[in-house]
């Protein structure tokens, strides 16, 4: 369905990760003209506006995790009354591990217009500089704070064939990387990206074991971790599997059941293996 005629619009605006020069001209214009500005931290919003030499003309309200639900009715009313609501978070893109998802979902449900001013994102910036495969990737937010839950969180990534990006607090980084080594192994490739676009930007690349050892000394600032894909499992060639099937048949098993079990264990088509075994008999 199309947005309600005459309705306002929600504008999601990416803000600089650190270097103020990354602010887009469209962000400057939006700060000047939006009737309502919903900011994750109003103090940081005013600091951003001052750095950009912009004076917001609209009403500024706070919009952080703890008040997000309570703020929805008022913001939806503003949109329904034809106003432009600008949503900005502290750095990067709203809704990406930042407030915004609930407001966007509510707007979609009510057929209110949602648009975006693209720009900085720690996720894609870290992915680009990591040196790890970027053709397929997943973003997993923040890992759990407790070690046991964190290890369970890492477990499905043992076979993940995509690069995975996640955030972590600097004081938990060493423990998180140690848990990753335990669950995923010491040789998995990864990168730790610290203070992206800022004066002390640092990208440390290596194996999980190397990064865990580096992190013991402590790391400061905003942290983004990029985890490389799991090594692809090498599957036995068809001739090897056929030989295993024939040996099991020689030991007294039926061809069909032997082929089915061997194929399932190898992760290949049961019919293809059965046909190959019949052909070689």
Q: Looking at the 3D structure of the chain, how many domains does it have?
A: 3
In this structure, the answer to whether residues 108 and 135 fall within a common structural domain is: no
Examine the fold and report which residue of 227, 254, 269 is the final residue of a domain before the chain moves on: 227
Q: Which residue segment(s) compose the domain that 47 sits in?
A: 9-120
In this structure, the answer to whether residues 86 and 136 fall within a common structural domain is: no
In this structure, the answer to whether residues 115 and 72 fall within a common structural domain is: yes
Predicted confidence at residue 268, as pLDDT, reads 86
In this structure, the answer to whether residues 79 and 48 fall within a common structural domain is: yes
Reading the block at residue 142, the tokens are: 């923040």
In this structure, the answer to whether residues 94 and 192 fall within a common structural domain is: no
DSSP string, 153-222: HHGGGGG--SEEEEEE-GGGHHHHHHHHHHHH-TT-EEEEEESTTSTT-EEEEEEHHHHHHHHTT---S-
Whether residue 257 is contained in a domain is answered as: yes
Predicted confidence at residue 177, as pLDDT, reads 98
Predicted confidence at residue 267, as pLDDT, reads 81
pLDDT in tens, the chain (281 residues): 344 444 799 999 999 999 999 999 999 999 999 999 999 999 999 999 999 999 999 999 999 999 999 999 999 999 999 999 999 999 999 999 999 999 999 999 999 999 999 999 999 999 999 999 999 999 999 999 999 999 999 999 999 999 999 999 999 999 999 999 999 999 999 999 999 999 999 999 999 999 999 999 999 999 999 999 998 776 778 889 999 999 999 999 999 999 999 988 888 888 989 889 998 87
pTM score of the predicted model:
0.79
DSSP string, 236-255: PPHHHHHHHHHHHHHTT--H
Predicted confidence at residue 232, as pLDDT, reads 79
Examine the fold and report which residue of 120, 149, 184 is the final residue of a domain before the chain moves on: 120
Predicted confidence at residue 2, as pLDDT, reads 42
Strands (E) across 68-188 are located at: 84-88, 113-117, 137-139, 163-168
- Domain of 159: which CATH number? 3.30.950.10
The Cα-based distances of 41 to 87, 141, 281 in angstroms read 11, 20, 73
Predicted confidence at residue 280, as pLDDT, reads 85
């Amino acid at each position: 369905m199309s947005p309600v005629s005459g309705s306002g619009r929600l504008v999601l605006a990416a803000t600089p990760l650190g270097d103020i020069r990354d602010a887009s001209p469209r962000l400057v214009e939006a700060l000047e003209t939006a009737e309502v500005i919903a900011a994750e931290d109003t103090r940081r919003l005013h600091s951003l506006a001052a750095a950009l030499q912009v004076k917001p003309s609209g009403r500024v309200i706070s919009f952080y995790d703890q008040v997000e639900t309570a703020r929805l009715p008022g913001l939806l009313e503003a949109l329904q009354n034809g106003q432009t609501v600008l949503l900005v978070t502290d750095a990067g893109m709203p809704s990406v591990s930042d407030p915004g998802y609930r407001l966007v979902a509510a707007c979609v449900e009510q057929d209110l217009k949602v648009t975006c001013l693209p720009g900085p994102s720690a996720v894609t910036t870290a992915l680009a500089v990591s040196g790890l495969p970027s053709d397929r990737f997943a973003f997993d937010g923040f890992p759990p704070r407790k070690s046991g839950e964190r290890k369970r969180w890492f477990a499905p990534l043992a076979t993940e064939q995509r690069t995975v990006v996640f955030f972590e607090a600097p004081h938990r980084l060493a423990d998180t990387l140690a848990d990753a080594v335990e669950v995923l192994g010491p040789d998995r490739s990864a990168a730790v990206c610290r203070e992206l676009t800022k004066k002390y930007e640092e990208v440390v690349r290596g194996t999980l074991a190397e990064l865990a050892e580096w992190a013991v000394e402590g790391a400061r600032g905003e942290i983004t971790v990029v985890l490389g894909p799991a090594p692809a499992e090498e599957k036995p060639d068809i001739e090897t599997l056929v030989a295993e099937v024939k040996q099991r048949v020689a030991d007294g098993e039926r061809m069909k059941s032997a082929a089915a079990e061997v194929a399932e264990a190898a992760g290949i088509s049961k019919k293809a293996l059965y046909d190959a075994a019949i052909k070689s008999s």
